Amino acid sequence: MSGVTRVRAHAGWELRLLLRNGEQILLMFIIPIALLIALDLMRGGEIDEQVPTVLTVSLIATCFTSLAIGTGFERRAGALKFLATTPLSRLDLLLGKALATGALAALSFAALAIVAAFMGWRPGIDWLGLAAFVILGGGAFAALAVLLAGALRAEAVLALANGIFVLLIVFGGVVFAAADMPPAIGAVVGLLPSAALADGLNAALTGGTLPAGALLVLLVWGAAGALLARRTFTWD
């Protein structure tokens, strides 16, 4: 079996496990759709402004919260150590998990886009910019998820991943943009990956000018997270 076949098979297996998990379905699909409807009602039907916010929430939930918790409990249960004894290499394992996470994010994006379209969303999408921010943003949060999952016990990962998720959404420049905060606070919040991702997706989905600074922020967070995860992650 070739490496590509192994990675594809493992990615499919990972994705099936994720889709069978009721908590994952709630986190990836039900909550973002409910948030989209709630924001649209509370903010007077400005659907074009709400979709980037909810897509940011969905991507963080998929690539950070879900991945961190799942990896943490797999590590505690010895599943990662067991899989390492199969023909899958460590790179195969990581690539398979990355592809499954990306596929889940795409499904969540598609579900949100369909619901938003029924609510009147008619975007002018910069597809290149959207792809850049999704890849860099998803990669940055995935690296941070692996870092968290590899450094702490599964119970601690569960608590921290959910806590950090809520803090980033409420205070990290997602629901309330960094530009709308007092200048001193907004400058600090703008350096968070959540704010950078929200700004980038908003620009890409509304036809605005893509913020180069936000791309740089995501690149730095992703590189730092990947480097630290590589040095600290253990499989058991």
Percentage of residues of the chain with pLDDT beyond 70: 86
Across the range 78-103, mean pLDDT stands at 71
pLDDT at 159: 92
231 compared with 160, residue with greater pLDDT: 160
pLDDT at 61: 87
Across the range 52-66, mean pLDDT stands at 88
User: What number of residues does the chain have?
Assistant: 236
Across the range 45-63, mean pLDDT stands at 85
pLDDT at 90: 63
Does residue 229 contact residue 150 with C-beta atoms inside 8 Å? yes
pLDDT at 88: 67
Whether pLDDT at 192 is above 90: yes
Spatial distance between the Cα atoms of 236 and 228, rounded to a whole number of angstroms? 17
Whether pLDDT at 74 is above 60: yes
Percentage of residues of the chain with pLDDT beyond 90: 19
Q: How far is CA 179 from CA 73, 114, 173, 182, 186, in A?
A: 37, 29, 8, 8, 6
Could you tell me the two tokens for 76?
């505690």
Across the range 184-202, mean pLDDT stands at 92
**pLDDT tens-digit series, residues 95-124:** 777 778 778 888 888 888 888 888 888 878
